[in-house]
A and B are shown apart, each in its own frame.
Chain A
Amino acid sequence: MKRNPGEKLTGRIKTVIIAVLSLSMVLLLCFFWFNISMKDIQSFSIDNLTRVQVNESDMLSASETFVPSRISFNAGNGAYRVFNSDEVNCWATEDKNGMADLLAASIDEGVFFAEEITMKQYEDMKNTASITAIFDYGLPFKDFCSLIAEKPPQESDYIGAIAEVSFSTASTTNLFLKDNQNKYYGITLSKPGEYLSQCVNEHNTKNTVTYFPMDSYLGEAISNKTLVPVELNAELNDFVIQRDFDIKDSKHIDELAKRFFSESFDFVRKIEEESGKTVYMYGYGRRILIADVDGTLEYKMQAQGDAGSLSYLQAFEVARAFINRQGGFFTESGQELKPYLKDGEYNFDKSGGSRFVFGIKCGKYPLLSASSDAIVVEVSKGQVTYFKKCFVSFSESNATRESRQAMSAINVIAKNYKEIYNVMEQNMLLGEDEKKKADRFSVVSDKIENMSYGYVFGGDNIARSAWILTYDKQDFQMYFSLYDGEFLGYRVN
């Protein structure tokens, strides 16, 4: 029986109603299934969709982050060559014959054995044709073993954070380790480091800057073994930097702040101070974000709950995820920065918390601020309780020019030792014994822990090529112009 048009229309309407009711029933069931409350719907914000999380693949992994700060090669005659760890292929190689690979193999094959040795034995080993991987940040040896091998060896419990890992051509079936408590170990390998021996020979004949220990320049009065270049022809050039945000751009600052408070931004107090600083506060100080006039963002949060502490590596993953949520290592203008781990500490708060400090590079060289690091993250009780970010944009092509001779490292110290001494004195960085010494030059020279070069910027938005003198485990640095040795500034943490 044919249906009349009215019945057809009714039929279609019923079909549509059935479809709508079925869909709404599915949605309601989803609300139950995923336990979505009305508050979740009310607090949903379009901002959540536009958050600037970067791709996982763009974020540094733990194995890419925890690499040596630099690698030095000793020719066996007192001459050294120093490289960034990504400039030489001897730490972790594709063929699994780098220093980290050999250590991993010895752990996995069950031959790992760490024997404590004396400082003299360690120094004697280093004085042969050798490679030394230097770590400026504190990487707990046990966590490092977890990273490279299936399971850390039992002995890793009593070895502290790695300061140096060395290989000597005179003892190719061993690696040597110095920890941050100035203890030294010889570690048995499962196979000889033949490839590493080749690396030593190859890099000691390279036409690069040669370094010598400082005491070989300055005589017996100085006992400092810090490596210093003989002479340096450098390509570094001063260049302009742009801060990551303009404090006067209120709208942009609000957008940055939403990344930290997201769902609770409606209940955040915003305070604009006379200095120009803008403070966002949630819960009367429970969470605070400060956007400062110098382009830094500083976030603090009171740790919630009684969660136990995490291991260094676990804390790193928490820190990494947080950095990722804040845009990773991209500036607001979209420039991808080159980060490196500058410093780190486990149990910095005496409660099992971890601290990570990242710097950035311009080309091969560190780009430092005289006041803030690129990123500082503290993780306590499994949460990020402190985060500070100071990013700048720049054009890398402006950062280099034709090579010219830099002022020698020793002359920089000779020219400025009084200034350095005065700064140390003003900031109470001198021990009583040091204050009593008449020879200020030797006091200043003996305390240097590293002498490197790169770029430094201050309040005037110019990054200047500079000598970087590091003291006190990076808590104190002095900066001098690379080419004429003029004082640029200093930083005390």
Chain B
Amino acid sequence: MDWTKAKTILIVALLLANAFLIFTYASANKSEQIAINEEELIVLLENKNIFIETEIPQEHPNLEALTIMHTEFSKEEIEALIASVDPISDGKSQDDYLQAVEEFFGYLGFPSEYVEFTYMEKNKDITTLFFKTRVNGIDVDVSDIKCVFEGNKIKEIDGNIFWPKEFLKKKIDTSSAVEALLSFFSEWSGDEGAIISKIELVYWIGDEYNENIDYLSVTALPAWKITYDEGKKIYIDAF
């Protein structure tokens, strides 16, 4: 008997069998992929009077869970530091304000790579700059910092300040914005409809701990934040 030929035939047969099994297994274990595209989703939402007035994000990177630490400074500490800081020069462009705030944050030990300027408001002599904590391009939703200038001097620093303390090792497979909107649709029970103005991926700590901040650190997990009807928000786990 020609064992060499027999072995070759056996190898080919086993290869085919393995390929068949792998293909069948992979097809059977495809996770419940949403068999719906964006256009279909929009039609579905509009049937419930839900309209999207923003772009639906296409990207959803896999993210690690993040431990964030709550940072607090005493009022006396802040006031003492404010008193010691020089006023900004006349001119007062946005960049001047930003530079002053950046220096001040430096004195407080804020890691600048996580501080993201969002917008500025001016009202007569009061100028307020708003910042968020942002990690790898994703907002830490609970963290917001406000810096108030009166004239050309810092008057007040306020907000819930969180910094990243630790990334967990494993990356979480995040769901897509389309899947999040589908969840939103399935949970929507309102009769009047809604207008969605923003959809973004954020780090979220949950409602309970967002309200009562008397803790040192908390795990933030990725969630889709859907803003609708002029400021209402809903968070949908992105995993």
Contacts and interface: CB of A to CB of B under 8 A. Distances in A.
B217 A28 contact: no
Interface stretch (A110-118, A198-206, A234-242, A262-270): A262-270
Contact of A269 (B10, B31, B172, B218): B218
B206 A18 contact: no
Interface string B188-206: 0000000000000000011
Interface string A1-22: 0000001001100110110011
Interface in A1-53: 7, 10-11, 14-15, 17-18, 21-22, 24-25, 28-29, 31-32, 37-39
A28 B25 contact: yes
Given A18-B10, A21-B15, A273 B215 contact: yes
Given A22-B14, A285-B208, A271 B7 contact: no
A266 B170 contact: yes
A27 to B, nearest CB: 9
Contacts of A268: 219
A337 B206 CA distance: 39
B160 interface: no
Nearest to A285: B208
Contacts of A7: 4
Interface stretch (B16-24, B81-89, B113-121): B16-24
Nearest to A250: B217
A281 interface: yes
Interface residues of A, number: 30
B95 interface: no
Contact of B14 (A25, A29, A37, A269): A25
A273 to B, nearest CB: 4
A284 interface: yes
A11 B4 contact: yes
B218 A10 contact: no
A266 B65 contact: yes
B22 A18 contact: no
Given A10-B4, A38-B29, A267 B217 contact: no
Interface residues of B, number: 36
B165 to A, nearest CB: 10
A7 B4 CA distance: 9
Interface string B1-45: 001100110110011011001101100010100000000000000
Contacts of A25: 14, 17-18, 21
Contacts of A255: none
B167 interface: no
B67 interface: yes
Interface string A455-486: 00000000000000000000000000000000
Given A18-B11, A266-B168, A271 B22 contact: no
A274 interface: yes
B18 A24 contact: yes
Contacts of A269: 205-206, 209, 218-221
Given A269-B219, A270-B219, A273-B215, A14 B4 contact: yes
Nearest to B8: A14
Contact of B206 (A24, A28, A281): A281
Contacts of A14: 4, 7-8, 11
Contacts of A272: 215-218
A29 B220 CA distance: 40
A219 B13 CA distance: 97
Interface string A180-199: 00000000000000000000
Contacts of A11: 3-4, 7
Nearest to A275: B214
A37 B205 contact: no
A134 to B, nearest CB: 44
Interface string B29-68: 1010000000000000000000000000000000001010
Nearest to B165: A272
Contacts of A18: 7, 10-11, 14
A267 B18 CA distance: 34
A329 to B, nearest CB: 31
B25 A15 contact: no
What are the 5 tightest A-B residue pairs by CB atom distance, in nearest-first order?
Answer: A21-B14, A28-B21, A269-B219, A14-B7, A273-B215
7 contacts: A31-B25, A267-B172, A267-B237, A269-B220, A270-B219, A271-B219, A273-B216
Given A10-B4, A266-B65, 4 more contacts: A25-B21, A28-B25, A267-B239, A269-B221
